[in-house]
Structure formats: structure tokens, C-alpha cells
Amino acid sequence: GSGKSTIGKTFVRLLEPSAGHLWFRDRDVAHLTGSALMDYHRAAQMIFQDPFSSLNPWHTVAHHIRRPLARLQHVRGAAGEAEVDRLLEQVNLTPTGQFRDKYPHELSGGQRQRVAIARALAANPVFIAADEPISMLDVSLRADVLRLLESLQSQHALSLLYITHDLASARYLAHRIAVVYGGSLIEWAEAGELVEHPAHPYTRLLLAATPGSPMTGPLPETEQSAPDLSPMRPGCPFAPRCPHVMVRWRAVMPDWTSAAPEHYVACHLHA
């Protein structure tokens, strides 16, 4: 993989970064511990890719939501039960009485993912990392979950990191898109700008392989052997597969340049 899920888990501090800084509200949270880390977990939550393993099979739907309410928001008792119902309504699991006492194995994949979303919202976060939240769902359910995420992002004024390999869904949901390859960020732009005017060769290859892409013509080809993506490898990470590569690019990492206003790319072609 390119490191997308690792980035998401690091953002919510499920993984501790090996180097660098993670800034949130003018504070470096990369190495927080104890109560300071607990405070950060109230603000930053995650929705995982697999709705079948991210829920505890021994716990009911209500318990999954009740626990973060009690632990992170100190909401318990009758107030907690009312909040469980409110969150279930927000993710469209209604009538709530039909879902509260169900176990994960009694739910569909889409319903499980909605429970996971409600669980994340129970912490009242300002940031959510959603790691491929629709990739394991039936195609018929994906649009519903995307619409739900879009609605909740607006209602709660959330910052949402939507991690995906599907540029079509990214364009639908995201305001800005960042493209990652081999552990390196290689392009960053407003969603429509990036899809309409991709600057990096890898981004163009991704778009060309995406159903419904605005790019036309024959599907471009590139080297199929897996390159060495170790962090100590010099040069551009995409050089082994780049159709435009020059020898010196294999040894020199490209600098960030502006391909257009608010559109940035790390590529020797734009140096």
C-alpha cells in the first residue's frame, strides 16, 4: 500500500509517528500521553474500513455507542440512553428500538458501518478519519453511506479525512484531494481542479483507470513490476513506473511546485 491507512491511524494516534510533528489547534499532538491524549481522542475519531471486524460481536449496538458517551463525554444514565437514540436517528437506523439491542451479526454491512459512524460521533469530535468506509460494502449501499457522511460533515462542521483508492467517490465527497504514492504525498489540489487537470503522471494513470473519468483515449500503460518503496530509497518514488522518467530523477527527490493556483505537485516534470 501507499500508506493511506497508516496516515489515518497516525492522525487519530492509534499509531505513534516515528518522526515529525502532528499539529492540532497550535499544539503538537504527535507524542501526547495520559489525559492529554484522552482529550485529543475526544476531538479526533476514526471509522474503519471493515464493518465486520471493527465492532465487538459480544456487544449490542447500544453498548457500542454508550461506551464512548460515558468514557469520553461523561454522559450516562437516562441522558446517555437518550443520546444513543439520537445518534441512531442521525445515522438513519430507525426505529431505534429495533436496533438498540441487536448484535453485529444481526446487521447488514451497511447497518454495521452506520453503527461505526454513530460510535465515532458519540465522542463529539471535530475531526474524523474515515478509512475506506465503503470499500467492503455492496455497491447498492455505497452511495447511501457517502451521502450520510456528506450530510454529517455539514451538520457537525466536521473536518473529514476520507481515505480511498476510488477517485470518483473522492471527487463526490471531498473539497480537496491529496494523492499519495509509496508513502509520499505527490499532489494536492481542490477536488474539481485535480480531477480535471491532473499534473502528476501517477494521478493521470489513476484517473484513466477510474470508471466515468473525464480522461479519454486508450488506457495508458506503465511498468507492472513492484518497485522498491523502502523509505531509504533515493529519488522520486514513482520513477520506476513513470513513463516520462529520466535517469537523474531516480536519484533526486522532486521539490513541490505550483501547477496552478492552490494546486501543488511534487514532480520533476513541473520543476
pLDDT tens-digit readout, 83-127: 999 999 999 999 999 999 999 999 999 999 999 999 999 999 999
Q: What is the pLDDT of residues 6-28, one digit of tens each?
A: 999 999 999 988 888 899 988 89
Question: Is the preceding peptide bond at 104 cis, omega within 30 degrees of 0?
Answer: no
The whole-angstrom separation of Cα 216 and Cα 203 is: 14
Residue 220's pLDDT is what? 59
The whole-angstrom separation of Cα 177 and Cα 162 is: 9
- How many CB atoms sit inside 10 A of residue 102's CB? 15
Minimum mean pLDDT among 32-36, 171-175, 254-258, 261-265: which range?
32-36
pLDDT band at 173 (very low <50, low <70, confident <90, very high): very high
Percent of the chain having pLDDT more than 70?
A: 92
Percent of the chain having pLDDT more than 90?
A: 62
The whole-angstrom separation of Cα 239 and Cα 182 is: 11
pLDDT band at 191 (very low <50, low <70, confident <90, very high): very high
pLDDT band at 217 (very low <50, low <70, confident <90, very high): low
Give 97's Cβ-side CA count (13 Å radius).
0
The whole-angstrom separation of Cα 57 and Cα 53 is: 8
Residue 167's pLDDT is what? 87
Residue 51's pLDDT is what? 86
Q: Which of the four CATH numbers 3.40.50.300, 3.10.580.10, 3.60.21.10, 3.90.1640.10 does domain 4-165 have?
A: 3.40.50.300
Cβ partners under 8 Å of residue 44, min gap 6: 11, 12, 13, 24, 125, 126, 127, 128, 129
DSSP element (H, E) containing 7: helix 4-11
The whole-angstrom separation of Cα 249 and Cα 260 is: 23
Minimum mean pLDDT among 64-78, 111-125, 188-202, 241-255: which range?
241-255
How far, CA to CA in Å, does 129 sit from each of 88, 212, 218, 242?
20, 26, 35, 30
Contact 121, 75 (CB under 8 A): no
76 pLDDT exceeds 90?
yes
pTM (2 d.p.): 0.88
From the list 119, 114, 66, 124, the residue with the least C-alpha distance to 92 is 114
- As given in the structure block, the three cell numbers for residue 154 are 455539514
| Domain definitions of the chain by residue range | 4-165, 179-270
Can you tell me which residue has the cell 465492532? 55
